[in-house]
């Protein structure tokens, strides 16, 4: 049984598996899109989201100049960088994470990546996926309740004029049925002419 054992083994020894996921997360942060198998993509997503969260949490401190930070803020930044470096051992990827990617997701609380299934690999029919960072133009927050209520009022007002008396409703339905019958009859005629 695998109770409380997170992660996948992928039939690899621990060192190989750690290096694999470190490289996959670094490639994702550098290129913002990678193509890999489903199992690797799911595990890489877990590690990448955690790493981006470390960088996002100190985003407000990173906006300050280094000489303007308090000792406590500097310590928080150093800690966040070290935690990110536990997963991503590539310095270029970590610098891009803290400089470009973290400010992009400053207002987003999770869900920085998405997995798109793209079929099977030709050689061994392994299910393949595209793991990518969410682009900037994606919606960042759900609409507020006031916006939803405002959207419902015009919809109700548009439905109200249609619901008049029963007799007018019956008169409107009859021509529609007749039009539908005439369309099917014309389709049958064109098929018989061919």
Which of 32-41, 55-64, 117-126, 146-155 is least confident? 146-155
Domain that holds residue 80: 14-133
What contacts 95, CB < 8 A, 6 or more positions away? none
Per the listing, tokens 């002419």 go with 193
In a domain, 4, yes or no: no
Domain count, the chain: 2
pLDDT of residue 60: 87
- pLDDT of residue 190 exceeding 60, the answer is no
- Beta strands at 33-37 and 113-120: parallel, antiparallel or unpaired: unpaired
In a domain, 59, yes or no: yes
Q: Both 19 and 100 in a single domain?
A: yes
Instruction: State pLDDT tens for residues 16-30.
Output: 999 999 999 999 999
Is the distance from CB of 35 to CB of 24 less than 8 angstroms? no
List of long-range contacts for 118-124, beta carbons under 8 Å, 24+ apart: 118/35, 121/37
Q: Both 115 and 178 in a single domain?
A: no
Q: Both 67 and 115 in a single domain?
A: yes
In terms of pTM, does the model score above 0.95?
no
């Amino acid at each position: 049984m695998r109770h409380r054992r997170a992660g996948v083994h992928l039939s690899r020894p621990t060192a190989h598996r750690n290096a694999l996921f470190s490289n996959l997360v670094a490639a994702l942060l550098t290129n913002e899109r990678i193509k890999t198998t489903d199992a690797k993509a799911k595990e890489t997503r877990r590690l990448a989201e955690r790493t981006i969260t470390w960088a996002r949490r100190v985003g407000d401190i990173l906006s300050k100049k280094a000489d303007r930070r308090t000792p406590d803020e500097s310590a928080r930044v150093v800690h966040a960088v070290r935690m990110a470096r536990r997963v991503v051992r590539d310095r270029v990827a970590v610098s891009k994470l803290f400089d470009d990617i973290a400010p992009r997701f400053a207002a987003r609380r999770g869900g920085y990546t998405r997995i798109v299934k793209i079929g099977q690999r030709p050689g061994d029919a392994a299910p393949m996926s595209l793991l990518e960072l969410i682009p900037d133009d994606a919606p960042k927050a759900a609409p507020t309740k006031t916006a939803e209520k405002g959207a419902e009022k015009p919809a109700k007002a548009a439905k109200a004029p249609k619901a008049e008396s029963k007799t007018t409703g019956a008169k409107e339905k009859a021509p529609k049925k007749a039009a539908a019958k005439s369309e099917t009859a014309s389709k049958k005629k064109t098929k018989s002419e061919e």
